[in-house]
Structure 1
Amino acid sequence: MLRRLRETGPIVLVPLAWTFATAAHLDMLALRTVRIAHLVMVTIIAAFTVLSWRDMDGGVLLAWRRVLVAGFFLTALGLAGLLTDPLTTPLLTLTVAGWMVVPGVALGYTGRHVDRYPRVYTVGGAVSVLGAAAYLAGVLAPVSALVFVGLVLTNVGQTAGIVAAVYS
């Protein structure tokens, strides 16, 4: 059962995480809730990585193991930012943008190395990275509509990729 959960769980967790991030950016969540969620995500990512480490020794899965390791540190940085000065820290922007770009690049890589649904991965990766560009432009401008568009694009792109992975 644990193996099946590891194989299919991300199909729920990926869109849930981006929906949660979007809600946080729209100030729909209390800071305490976002802090707790980051702590939970750090724990889930660590557990998933440790439990799946041997299954991800080569090929495309090795790229995704690297995404998990990078994601662990990105999420921990976000947690550190939330615990220090959540309103001004660049750690939160780095966390969100990192989670947009790193899996986006891995989706593009996956699309070049698989036979099933390669376009879904490639387009999903491109949409995720495009989301990062929109998000960063929105943060720097600041234009909240661009931030929102970036979060939604990334959610769509990465969700498409994880759906393709689960159903391959």
Structure 2
Amino acid sequence: MFPRLRAQGPTVLIPLAWAVVGLAHLDVVSDRAVLIFHVVAAVLIAAFAALSWDEMETDVLRVWRDILLVGLLLTVGGIVGLLVVQLRDPFLTTTILGWMVVPGIGLYYTGKRVVTGQRAYTAGAVLSVLGAAVYAGGLFPATNAALLAGIGLALVGQTVGIAQAVRQPRETPSG
């Protein structure tokens, strides 16, 4: 059961994470709930990385292992931002933008390295990075519609990418 959960869990967890971010922007979920979600996410990311470390030693999977490590740092930064009021805005903004851009880069790289699913990975990359651009543009001045649109783009893009990865878990690189 655990290998299956490890392989397919991200297809639920990634869109769930972005949904929580969107709901937090709408003040539907409390800061405490967002903090708990960040702590749980950090534990899950660390556990996934530790349990998958040896399987993620080469090529595309090595890039995703690095993305998990950067993502863990981003998530811990989000925890700090939620706990230290003076750091809230810069740390949470960095966490959100980082989680949009870093997986976007990974999806782009993956799309260039695999034979099957190149379009899905590339589309996911474009949507994720476009989401970051829309979100960043919505910060100055703060526009909830733009922030939510950016979150939505990242949600769709990263969900497309992880769904492709689950469909093609043992893809061999093309180059």
2:14 aligned residue: 14
1:156 aligned residue: 156
2:104 aligned residue: 104
For residues 51-70 of structure 1, the aligned pairs below 5 Å read 51-70=51-70
Q: CA deviation at 1:116?
A: 1.0
Corresponding letter in the other structure for 1:159: T
Corresponding letter in the other structure for 1:67: I
For residues 18-167 of structure 1, the aligned pairs below 5 Å read 18-85=18-85, 88-167=88-167
Corresponding letter in the other structure for 2:106: A
Structure 1 residues 86 and 99: CA distance shift in structure 2, 3 A: farther
The whole-number CA distance in structure 1 between the counterparts of 2:48 and 2:105 is 20
The whole-number CA distance in structure 2 between the counterparts of 1:10 and 1:3 is 12
Size of the alignment, in residue pairs? 168
Contiguous gaps of at least 5 residues in structure 2:
169-175
Moved over 3 A (4+): none
Corresponding letter in the other structure for 2:127: V
Q: CA deviation at 1:87?
A: 8.3
Corresponding letter in the other structure for 1:14: I
SS in 1 for 2:138: helix
The whole-number CA distance in structure 2 between the counterparts of 1:86 and 1:9 is 34
Contiguous gaps of at least 5 residues in structure 1:
none
The whole-number CA distance in structure 2 between the counterparts of 1:98 and 1:40 is 18
The whole-number CA distance in structure 2 between the counterparts of 1:140 and 1:56 is 39
Corresponding letter in the other structure for 1:155: L
Asked if the contact 1:129–1:154 (Cα under 8 Å) also holds between the matched residues in 2, the reply is: yes
The farther-off stretch of 71-80 and 1-10 is 1-10
Using the aligned pairs only, state the percent identity.
48
Q: CA deviation at 1:162?
A: 0.4
| TM-score, length of structure 2 as denominator length | 0.93
The whole-number CA distance in structure 2 between the counterparts of 1:148 and 1:93 is 13
The whole-number CA distance in structure 1 between the counterparts of 2:25 and 2:166 is 28
The whole-number CA distance in structure 2 between the counterparts of 1:60 and 1:141 is 38
